[in-house]
Amino acid sequence: MKIAIGSDHGGFNLKGEVIKYLEQKSIEYKDFGTTSTDSCDYPDYALKVAEAVAEKEFEFGILICGTGIGISIAANKVPGIRAALCHDTFSAHATREHNNANILAMGERVIGPGLAIEIVETFLKAEFQGDRHQNRIDKIKAIEEKYNR
């Protein structure tokens, strides 16, 4: 499994904690930045990670900003991306099973590193259930196509 990870300055420290976890578990990853807590723009990192996931270079992406909101909104503009903002393990599990989410977004200013790591672990372990859920994802894709995104 290969993970693309990125954050803005607001998510930089939590990104470091998540990277430590990925390394401990020997999960392959690429860090798309940012590289410090200097102020930057979350859409830049959302785009890098979302494009890498949409192009299937990576199975999943992890995006972190202060709230997780801006970076997930931006990532969801890339066709084929289903970025889910999760601050609890139930949602992390459900979004893989039902939405086949391919990016997990979190907010460093919202949750602590302990919960964040549990959310990452849950997200990566859960599996898409297909069936009726695939039909709904096909309808999401139809919306993308309708607006020619």
Q: Could you give the residue numbers annotated as active site?
A: 65, 98
Closest distance to ligand RB5 from the beta carbon of 8 (Å): 5
**Cα–Cα distance between 121 and 54 in angstroms, integer?**
21
Considering only residues 92 to 111 of the shown chain, the ones binding ligand RB5 according to CB under 6 A are none
The answer to whether the CB of 51 falls within 8 A of the CB of 106 is no
Considering only residues 55 to 74 of the shown chain, the ones binding ligand RB5 according to CB under 6 A are 65-67, 69-70
Alpha helices in the chain (DSSP H): 12-24, 42-54, 69-75, 89-99, 113-125, 132-146
Tell me whether residue 34 is annotated as binding.
no
Instruction: Please name the residue that has the structure tokens 């672990």.
Output: 121
Tokens of 121: 């672990």
Residue among 44 and 121 whose Cβ is closer to ligand RB5: 44
Closest distance to ligand RB5 from the beta carbon of 17 (Å): 16
**Cα–Cα distance between 121 and 15 in angstroms, integer?**
14
Residue among 66 and 96 whose Cβ is closer to ligand RB5: 66
Considering only residues 104 to 143 of the shown chain, the ones binding ligand RB5 according to CB under 6 A are none
Which residues of this chain interact with ligand RB5, rule CB under 6 A?
Answer: 8, 10, 42, 65-67, 69-70
